[in-house]
A and B are shown apart, each in its own frame.
Chain A
Amino acid sequence: MGAAEARRGRVIAATTILAIALFFGVILSSAIGQFPVAVTEVIGSILDRIGLHTSWAPVDELHDQALWQIRFPRVAMAALVGAALAIAGTVMQAIFGNPLAEPGVVGVSSGAALGAAFAIATGVTLFGSAGLAVFAFAGGVLATLLVYATARANGRTEVVTLLLTGIAINAFAGAGLALMTFLSDTGSREQIIFWQLGSLNGSRWSEVGMVALLGTAGAVVAFASARRYDLLALGERTASHLGVRVERLRVVSIFAVAILTGAAVAYVGIISFVGLVVPHALRMVMGPGHKALLPASALGGAVLLLFADVVARTAVTGAELPIGLLTSLIGGPFFFFLLRRARTKQGGWA
């Protein structure tokens, strides 16, 4: 079977390219910034920490500190958040059987954002810095359940209902966010506003650890369900006839999406469209099989956000663009393109 082999080849090629891009993204993103560090110094510094002392290690103690306290946590955060969002998007599209389902579009992100804003505004502390993540997660779960409950009928998702539900949830969460902003003191207000724009600035290792932990949990669930997601493409009845516990898979996946989105949103704010663009683009290259698509999406999301962050930091001298703004700038038109394409293919919405 020629096509099967060709597709396998494309899977390997795409994954390899993404892995290489991730490597370069990490190095590049670490080197570029307010004060540039040489690429060799970046590599040398990493090698140094793992016990390989080379002549590339930074001579300047300040460079080393800047790398480990500011750059690396930020780079790690970008990669983790990108991967988490891309996996969340892929899973969401799998369980809704629709490429337009994405945490940002259907309101999961803004639900999570509302939860987090609530935590900031009220100053609730729960398990230290985890409180924000807990509330973001709770908001995400609520929003996802709401979308799930409204957008499905007879075992299929109606696209129109899905998008309209997204509008409703986004509007409601927007109002909630506005209320939180209104009620907060100046400090919290600023925090909420910046966070809505989405920024990787000031990422700390403790936060990175938290995102890594939650992200891994969500990713494990997603990867373990890969084959069942494929079967779900046949419609839930047929998937069930083939031995998939559809309802259980859905609920577990929804929680995974909420964890992934919540973790991503909690510390860096709303970053939309990563979960839409990445899986869709990769599906076009390597086909829809989730076993290959999920890990590739994780890589792709990490790469996209790493490079978006580099652009965010360098596009305007002396200032940093909010990264959420950048991804929406790419994602908005892409979403438009998807809509057009889906519309022509189906000959209009039912």
Chain B
Amino acid sequence: MNQPAAIAALDATYTISGATLVDGVTLEVNHGELVALVGPNGAGKSTLLSLLTGEREPTSGRTQLEGRLLSEWPHKELARRRGVLTQDNNVAFAFRVAEVVEMGRAPWQGTPQSDEDDAAIADAMERTDIAHLADRVFTSLSGGERARASLARVLAQQATIVLLDEPTAALDLRHQEDVMRLARQLARDGVAVVVVVHDLSLAAAYADRVAVMSKGRLVTAGAPGEVLTEQLVEEVYGTPVCIFPDPTTGAPLIVPVRS
């Protein structure tokens, strides 16, 4: 398979005012693949993600999208290819949810694809379970509803690479599962998906690969069952865990050891 990875960090390092936030990370994500980025707070997950979005340029090393340096992509082209959900989902002014989701279509303005705007918006709202909120003002939503509405905006963008920074953070149990299932579905449709998550069991249940970061470095990346060992998790997180297979799916469940 000689096709370049959908999105890749190649020996990427990011240093700011003396602190190395990302340290020589190489991570390639292919179309149709769901990669969960995990690691303790401050491990550099969000920084790595911002390198992959092209927001920041690595101080050394490279970041590429479909084999081409991110910095060489025209801004608009980039917006048609990769969608990003940030942790900050505030919206200034009283825009309605439907309007916010519609903003995801902005990169397609003036292209033939803009004919699909309405369908893309409706589909995105359906899949994130916010169709009933369409006429509500975004700022009046609860945290979980906001997260889903922002996710709908990313879906409406119809990018083939999707980077999600903690999309499940504000969500209840059911919507966490919904969002991860959605990410899974995107991957099945050929989208390259990178998701930052904190819940290791959630990552293990849905991701093709889990990439574990610690102190700016990529410790390991691979199939959840192989990568997530008790020893590794304990080493990275500094707290003992117990891992056992999910009785129904066999995916690893990670539970902290409590005394």
> A227-B109, A242-B79, A243-B78 are contacts. A233–B88 as well, Cβ < 8 Å?
no
Task: Choose the segment among A55-63, A281-289, A299-307 that binds chain B (4+ C-beta atoms closer than 8 Å).
Answer: A281-289
Q: Which residues of chain A come closer than 8 Å to B86, judged between CB atoms?
A: 235, 237-238, 241
B19 at the interface (CB under 8 A from A): no
Describe B's contact surface by its main secondary structure. Answer: mixed
Q: Is the CB of B106 within 8 A of A231?
A: yes
The residues of A that contact B99 with a CB separation of less than 8 Å are: 230, 287, 289
B225 → A minimal CB distance (Å): 33
Contact B93 A99 (CB under 8 A): yes
**Which of the listed residues A1, A231, A240, A243 has the most CB atoms from chain B within 10 Å of its own CB?**
A243
Contacting residue for B93 out of A233, A240, A243, A245, CB 8 A: A233
What sequence of 0s and 1s flags, for each residue 199-241 of chain B, a beta carbon within 8 Å of any chain A beta carbon?
0000000000000000000000000000000000000000000
The residues of B that contact A153 with a CB separation of less than 8 Å are none
| Nearest residue, chain B, Cβ from A237 | B86
CA distance A230 to B157 in the complex (A): 16
Chain B residue numbers with a CB within 8 Å of A156 are 90
In the complex, the answer to whether B79 meets A241 with C-beta atoms within 8 Å is yes
Decide: A3 and B96 in contact? CB cutoff 8 A. yes
Question: Measured between alpha carbons, how far is A241 from B103 in the docked complex, in Å?
Answer: 11
Proximity bits, A219-239, B CB within 8 Å = 1, else 0: 000000001001111110110
CB distance from A40 to the nearest CB of B (A): 44
Nearest-neighbour CB distance to chain A for B132, whole angstroms, equals 12
Say whether B95 contacts A241, CB under 8 Å: no
Assess A288 versus B94: contact at CB under 8 Å? Given A2-B135, A235-B88, A240-B55. Answer: yes
Contacts of A242 in B (CB 8 A): 79, 103-104, 106-107, 157
A4 contacts the other chain (Cβ, under 8 Å)? yes
Complex alpha-carbon distance, A231 and B156, angstroms = 14
> Which B-chain residue is minimally distant from A289 (CB atoms)?
B99
> Is A231 a contact of B103 with CB atoms below 8 Å?
yes
Residues of A within 8 A of B107 (CB): 242-243
Could you tell me the distance between the alpha carbons of A232 and B79 in the complex, rounded to whole angstroms?
15
Contact with B along A160-195 (1 / 0, CB 8 A): 000000000000000000000000000000000000
Nearest Cβ distance between residue A325 and chain B, in whole angstroms? 30
A17 to B99 Cα, complex, angstroms: 25
Is residue A275 within 8 Å, beta carbon to beta carbon, of the partner chain? Answer: no
Instruction: Using known A-B contacts A242-B79, A243-B78, determine if residue A237 contacts B55 with beta carbons closer than 8 Å.
Output: yes
Q: With an 8 A cutoff between CB atoms, is A98 at the interface?
A: yes
Q: Which residues on the A side are within 8 Å of B16 (C-beta)?
A: none
List residues 66-83 of chain B with CB under 8 A from any CB of chain A: 75-76, 78-80, 82-83
A-chain residues with CB within 8 Å of residue B153 when the two chains form the complex:
234
| Nearest opposing residue in chain B for A230, CB measure | B103
- By CB atoms of chain B within 10 A, which of A7, A233, A235, A241 has the most? A241
Min distance, Cβ A283 to any Cβ of chain B, angstroms: 7
Please indicate which of the listed interface residues A3, A244, A245, A289 has the most CB atoms of chain B within 10 Å of its own CB.
A3
Question: In the complex, A242→B55 CA distance in Å?
Answer: 12
Set of chain A residues within 8 Å of B64, measured between Cβ atoms: none
Cβ-based interface call for A97 (8 A) = yes
What is the minimal beta-carbon distance from B158 to any residue of chain A, in angstroms?
Answer: 12
Task: Mark each residue of chain B from 84 to 120: 1 if its CB lies under 8 Å from any CB of chain A, else 0.
Answer: 1010101111111011100110110100000000000
Q: Which residues of B contact A283 (CB under 8 A)?
A: 93-94
Contacts of A235 in B (CB 8 A): 86, 88, 90-92
Binding site for B on A (CB under 8 A): 1-4, 7, 97-99, 156, 227, 230-235, 237-238, 240-245, 283, 287-289
- Apart from A241-B55, A288-B94, what are 6 other A-B pairs with CB-CB below 8 Å? A3-B96, A98-B92, A230-B95, A232-B92, A235-B88, A241-B82
